[in-house]
Amino acid sequence: MSQEHGPSTPPPEPPASGQPAFGMPAQPDAADEPTAEFDAGAGPAPTPSTTGGRPRWLIPVLAGALGVPLLCCTGFVAGAAVGGGEPEDRTVVETETVTETVTETVEVDPSDERETELDDREAALDQREVTLDEREAELQEWEQSLVATEEQIVAGTIPGDGIWVVGDDIEPGVYQAQGSGGSCYWARLRSLDGSDIITNHFGSANVSVEIHASDAAFETSGCGSWQLR
């Protein structure tokens, strides 16, 4: 039984010497590698695939083995520098408020102080002079009234209400009241005290009284003036 086949694809040609096949790593050519003559009496032959005295496969293994600890150490140092370092020293500054009282001594010129004292004394003297003037005016008024009273006494009269000293203000004798009404009061006194009475009267102003030389004083009120008989 016959089977039909389509046109067949010819198989790929093998690569030329020294060229890698598709998808396969290139293999080193024996002519590219260095050749060393081997001396049987010099000892064992060196390993051909080494770099700097170490096998080529050992370099990546060492790099991988050392990389992990180095990365861990680097991360630890960086973390300590960022957040795990020693705490900063803080300096606390204390402030103190000092209150100072300053006493200032002011020198006063003695002449100014003396002048002020003199001004004060002059003002006090002026006020005193005013007071004395007022007193002098009162004394003059009282003196004038006293003179008038003495003139009346000399004439043998008692001018009116008051306490009169016998022998000084009035003379002893019989006196007649010159007033009117029913509120006449008189009293003969043993002293100048109005309550130290020898005898007294209260009533009509139409009355007379005898004043003795032994009487100390005579008091009268509401009787008007008295006339010596």
Q: Is the pLDDT of residue 134 over 80?
A: yes
* DSSP structure class, residue 15: P
Residue 102: its pLDDT value, please?
77
Q: What is the pLDDT of residue 64?
A: 53
Predicted confidence band at 111 (pLDDT cuts at 50, 70, 90)? confident
pTM of the model: 0.37
Joined tokens for residue 156: 């043998």
Q: Please identify which residue in the block is written with the tokens 């003379």.
A: 171
Q: What is the C-alpha separation between 224 and 77, in angstroms, rounded?
A: 134
Mean pLDDT of 55-73: 52
- What is residue 155's DSSP assignment? T
CA-CA distances (angstroms) from residue 136 to 6, 31, 143, 148, 158? 175, 162, 10, 18, 27
pLDDT digits (tens, 9 = 90+) for 14-58: 555 454 444 454 454 444 444 444 444 444 555 544 445 555 555
Mean pLDDT of 181-206: 95
Cα distances from 149 to residues 116, 144, 212, 223, 227, in angstroms, run 50, 9, 21, 17, 13
In the chain, what is the greatest distance between 2 CA atoms, to the nearest angstrom? 217
User: Of 154, 152, 156, 150, whose CA–CA distance to 229 is shortest?
Assistant: 156
pLDDT at 165 over 90: yes
The SS3 call for residue 112 is helix
Three-class DSSP category at 150? helix
Interatomic CA distance for residues 188 and 28, integer angstroms: 178
Nearest of 147, 145, 188, 142 to residue 165 by alpha carbon = 188
> What is the spatial distance between Cα 211 and Cα 229, in angstroms, rounded to a whole number?
12
Percentage of the chain lying above the pLDDT 90 cut? 38
Q: For 132, list phi and psi in degrees, rounded to 5.
A: -65, -35
Taking the C-alpha atoms of residue 183 and residue 201, their distance in angstroms, rounded to an integer, is 10
pLDDT at 46: 52
Tell me which H or E stretch contains 60. helix 58-82
